[in-house]
Structures are given as C-alpha cells and as structure tokens.
Amino acid sequence: MDLHGNEHGKKGSTAALVLAAIGVVFGDIGTSPLYALKECFSPEHGIPFSEAAVFGIISMMFWAILLVVTVKYIVFVMRADNKGEGGVLSLMALALRSLQSGTKSYLIVMMLGMFGACMLYGESVITPAISVLSAVEGLEIATPEMKRFVIPITVTILVALFVIQKFGTAAVGKLFGPITLLWFISLAGLGVLNVFKNPEIFAAINPMFAVNFISEHTLMAYIVMGSVVLVVTGVEALYLDMGHFGKSPVRMAWLFCVLPSLLMNYFGQGALLLADPEAIKNPFYLMVPDWALWPMVGLATAATVIASQAVISGAFSLANQAILLGFLPRMGIKHTSDNERGQIYIPVVNWSLLVMVIFTVIEFRESGNLAAAYGISVTTTMLITTILLSIVMRKEWHLNPVLIVSLFIGFLAVDLAFWTANLIKVKDGGWYPLMLGLLIFVCLMTWYKGRKLLRERILKESIPLEPFVKSLLAHPPHRVEGTAIFLTAHIDYVPVAMLHNLKHNRVLHQRVFFLKLSTWDVPYVNDDERLTLKDMGGDVYLVRSVHGFKETPDINKVLALIQSKYQLEFDLMETSFFLARDTVVPSKLPGMALWRERLFAWMFQNAAKPSDFFQIPTNRVVELGAKIEI
C-alpha cells in the first residue's frame, strides 16, 4: 500500500495562519527576553559586568538567533518534514527509513531520537516553571514587598493552567495569536524606546565583537555561552508545530514579526545596560516605563501561560506518537475537538507534568536557578537534531557529500559549544532535566524491549493463521449468530483470544474478523488507503487498518470504513470484540535485567485497556488471556 499524508489543519488565509503560528509556535522563544540577558550576568553562572561584555554578549545573542534559528531550523531543519509533520520523532522516522531494521545503526538512531524526545519532555516541565516564574518576578520590581507572594502566585497560575487542559485548547487558542502578537509588538516597542538612548549598541551586529570577546576572555565567554543559548529556547517547538500551520506561515511569522521583535528587544536591553549598569538585576522589567510596569507584568504572564500551553500540548502529542510507535504503554486519550485532528488530552501526562512542574518551582524558587537546567535540555535536543538531520540529508535528500559534511561540521560546532558550556552547570541544576530525560528514556526503552520479548514468546507458541482457518472451516465447531472481531498483533498467526474461545466456548460465530491495527512511519493516512481486506472463505475475513503515528485508532470509525468500502454491515448489538489480556511474569529467562522485567510487568499491568484506547464499546468486549514469562 502506497500511503500519502493528508493536508490537515492548514486551511484558511495566509494572514490567519501566520497569526495563529505566532500564538502557538513562538510563545516559548518569545518569552526568552524575560530572563536570557539577566542570566548572562548572573553572579552564580554569568560574568562580571563591563561595556565590552555587553557588546560581546549582545553580538553572541544576535548571531545565535541568526545561525541557529534562521539558518539551521528555518532554512534546513524545516525541510525535513514527514508528510508535512515535524519534530524529533518525525525526524527519527525519516532517518530510520533508510536503515535496515534490527541493525546496530538502526538501534543507535532510534535511541538517539527517543532520547531527544525524552529531553523535550524535560523541557515541557521546565518551560512552564521558568516562564511563569520569570513573569511573576516582575512584581518584585513593581513592589518589593510582593516578593514573598511570587511562588504562591506562580503555583496558582500553573495549577489553573493544567486544570483547564481537559477542556481542550481550541477555544482558548483563538486568543493566543492576538495576545502573543501584542507581546511581540511590546517587545519591539520597548527595544526601540531604549535603543534611542544608546544607538551605538547596533554595532554589536558586527560579529567581531563576539569574536574579540571570545578570544580575549575565552573561559568567561565559554561559560556565558551556556546562558546565551537561552535566546533560542523553544526552537524545537518551531519544528514540532510546523505541521499545524505549514512551513510558509511559520517562516513568514518568524522573519517578519518574531525575529525583528526579539532582536530589537535584546538590543534595547543592551542599550539600557550601557546607560545604567545597575539595571542588570532585571534588564527586561527595568526597561519598562513606570506607568506600563503593571500592564507589562500582566501581559508577560499571559504570554508565558501561552508558551506553557504550547509545550504542554506538545507533550500530549509526543506521548501519543510514542504510544503508537510502541515506546509507551497505552494511556487514556481524550479528543477535545471534533473538527481538528491532533487536539488531544492525556490525563496521566497532564497530572504527572503538573506534579513535576510544581516540584520544580518549589525546588528552584527563582527563574535564574532554573536557567542552567533549561539550557542542558534545549542543547541536548538541538545536538540530536543535527545528527539525525545529517542522516536525512545523506539518505533521503542525496545532497552532495561535501555540502553535507560542511553543514554538519558547522551546525555541530555551534551545538557542541552550547552543549558543553551547559555541561559545566550540571551540578547547578543541569542534572535535573538529564535525570528526568534518563528516567523517561529507561521507561521507554524498557517498554520497547519488553514488547519485543513478549512478542517473541507469544510467536514461539503461535499457530499459522491460514492453514488453521482452512482446517477449522473444513471441520467447523457449532456456529452461532453474530459477528466476532478478534484484535490481533500478527496477521500471520492465530490470536490467543481465538484459541481460548474455541477451547472454552467451543463455538464459532457466523462472521469472524481478524483485525490488525498498524502504525506506519507517516503522520496521517488517507481513509481511501487505510484498509486492506482478505476474504478467507466461510465468512472469515482478515483486515488490516493502517494509521499514522499522529492518529489514534478508533474502532467505530474502522468499522464504518469497512462497511462503506466493502458493503459488510455491522450491528454493534450483534458484534463481540475478543481481546487478549495477558499477564506478564518476570523470570530469569534470557532477555532483560530482572529489575527491567519487573518495571515492564508493572507498566503492562497499568496500561490502559485496549477496549478503552481503541474506543470499543465496553459492553461488547470479551477478554481472554494467560500468563506469559519473559
């Protein structure tokens, strides 16, 4: 079956798509001015203040935004779309296409992609914490007595944000674009207001200021690079969310709105520091006129909530993709929109994120303390993206090897500089996203390996399907009215539930369907290409329904498609769904370490039931299973 992705979620005028992209895609990177420059001069992680340092750092920020975001991501990485979809898992799927399954290189690329996704989960924890915390810290500038209320207010906002997730983001999302556009206009306006005081700051556009600063203060410059990278936080969200709006609107939003607004604001902050070095304690809020301070705190809080919303939605999307690609157990998924694909809510992910975000706020207490943790999460994913992109350029795009090597070395040099600079901060908070990422990675790879072992154990005792059906129809047991649908993981073998049903009930339904739900390495599949059906005789059918890794299979829709395409009627009151419900028993058989087998058994036991995940009517389900040692 030759599958092609749908064009989805990209309807509407270009202007409307650009506005929506500004609201959803750029919220994270758009809130970086709240803390990035302040962190560069932080007493804990930054460098001593000097005029040369201001010019050097502003120059480094300017070229980081230009090279990393504009050149690397806007020009090259966004070309690596999987049927229109982006993100590290889509990039991993593209890279894996050219590699043979089961080989060492295949496993390495797969593990790299999954670890990149795990670090994005870490970013989903840190982004809401640092963004909202940095916005609320503006209260300290307005009224110093408010400092003791910063943590409680931040936690209250975050709890409210996660509580409303179950209602979906479609309605609220319409407000994202205008609010975030106002935020970027405000950033640009504040920048212009302060640049007039010291227009010489524009000299920092000259890369020699960065070069001279690095050559004269090599160690200090290297350390501060760990903070400079904060200006590109959220760049992976740009790539992950491009499928919702298309490449052109995202690129236009960046080039004509977000990029100039961010640059003008950073230059404005630099101009402020040249005029008043004392403003380094919070250059963003101290560049705001007194009369606008309270409104700016409110607008900044709204912008950070929007940025947090984007990464939370991204976490739901990544979790859904990981489930369908076989790296996470099934979880309860609720679709929050009848019109837009991809609008989902996963309660387990939502509440887990909330607990970790609140812990993060209480543990780190200040946005400056979180900056080190943020940097290592962002740079690790950026580094993995570069490696995967080089494979795609070679295997999928077939570019000139000299060009590939040149781009790879250039991107890798920048990524390694930022990444190693953040490794210095591991003890100061960088350990946190690494620990989160590693824990999630262990769980994902344990689930992937455990499912593989489970499949191998089951296949050893499985019976080939076609000869079994021929033999069964030649000497059939008593046939009863109705339709039986057996969900199967293997189209070539008899489902365990079928064997148990014949063994215990000794009957065969009037119509029998063996249904295999497959996930392929494309984000979406057209309905007219989704199904294949094989008539095995005697009203026994083998059906395969193919889904993309961004789709959640729905049994009711699959049955409706079978009915319309093959004219096979279904009456749910006369249909029974037979599912295997096995119990995994850890053992000393060759496979995984015993502790990983126990972890897999626990995950397997607590996974959502197939009937819930595939939205099968609960009163039509029959579960049959057995104990399986791994």
**pLDDT tens-digit map of 183-207:** 999 999 999 999 998 999 999 999 9
- Token pair recorded at residue 155: 């936690």
Query: What angle do helix axes 207-216 and 51-64 make, rounded to 10 degrees?
Result: 120
Measured CA to CA, the distance from residue 345 to residue 167 in angstroms comes to 8
pLDDT recorded at residue 274? 93
pLDDT at 412 over 90: yes
Measured CA to CA, the distance from residue 259 to residue 270 in angstroms comes to 17
Instruction: Say which CATH number the domain at 169 has.
Output: 1.20.1740.10
Domain co-membership, 474 together with 612: yes
Of these ranges, 131-135, 509-513, 527-531, the one predicted with the greatest mean pLDDT is 509-513
Domain co-membership, 475 together with 563: yes
Residues in the chain: 630
What are the start-end ranges of the H helices in 196-233?
A: 207-216, 218-228
Domain co-membership, 364 together with 468: no
Mean pLDDT of the chain: 87
Domain co-membership, 371 together with 510: no
Average pLDDT for residues 512-517, to the nearest whole number?
Answer: 95
pLDDT recorded at residue 12? 52
pLDDT tens, 589-630? 788 899 999 999 999 988 888 888 888 888 889 888 777 887
Measured CA to CA, the distance from residue 176 to residue 194 in angstroms comes to 27
pLDDT at 132 over 70: yes
Domain co-membership, 277 together with 179: yes
Average pLDDT for residues 34-63, to the nearest whole number?
Answer: 87
* Run of H or E including 98: none
Which among 451, 518, 465, 512 has a CA at the least distance from the CA of 486?
A: 512
**Contact (CB, 8 A) for 113 and 389:** no
pLDDT at 169 over 70: no
Q: How far is CA 151 from CA 132, 136, 247, 311, 384, in A?
A: 10, 8, 38, 21, 34
pLDDT at 177 over 50: yes
Domain co-membership, 117 together with 226: yes
pLDDT recorded at residue 135? 86
CA atoms within 13 A on the CB side of 497: 22
Percent of the chain with pLDDT over 90: 47
pLDDT recorded at residue 4? 31
pLDDT at 7 over 60: no
Which among 120, 172, 131 has a CA at the least distance from the CA of 29?
A: 131
Of these ranges, 95-99, 148-152, 243-247, 267-271, the one predicted with the greatest mean pLDDT is 267-271
Average pLDDT for residues 483-510, to the nearest whole number?
Answer: 91
- Beta strands, E only, 192-308: none
pLDDT tens, 308-357? 887 888 888 888 888 888 899 988 888 776 555 556 788 999 999 999 99
Domain co-membership, 276 together with 411: yes
Which among 279, 284, 6, 257 has a CA at the least distance from the CA of 137?
A: 284
pLDDT recorded at residue 422? 87
Confidence class for position 306, pLDDT limits 50, 70, 90: confident
Domain total of the chain = 2
Measured CA to CA, the distance from residue 154 to residue 370 in angstroms comes to 14
pLDDT recorded at residue 341? 56
Given 418, 449, 480, the domain boundary residue is 449
Phi, psi of 621 (to 5 degrees): -105, 135
Domain hosting residue 622, numbered range: 463-629
Confidence class for position 424, pLDDT limits 50, 70, 90: confident
Average pLDDT for residues 446-461, to the nearest whole number?
Answer: 89
Domain co-membership, 445 together with 532: no
Average pLDDT for residues 522-544, to the nearest whole number?
Answer: 91
Q: How far is CA 338 from CA 335, 357, 362, 556, in A?
A: 7, 30, 38, 15
pLDDT recorded at residue 1? 38
* Run of H or E including 269: helix 259-275
pLDDT recorded at residue 9? 42
Domain co-membership, 475 together with 433: no
Domain co-membership, 439 together with 524: no
Q: How many whole angstroms from its chain centre is CA 157?
A: 23
Domain co-membership, 515 together with 540: yes
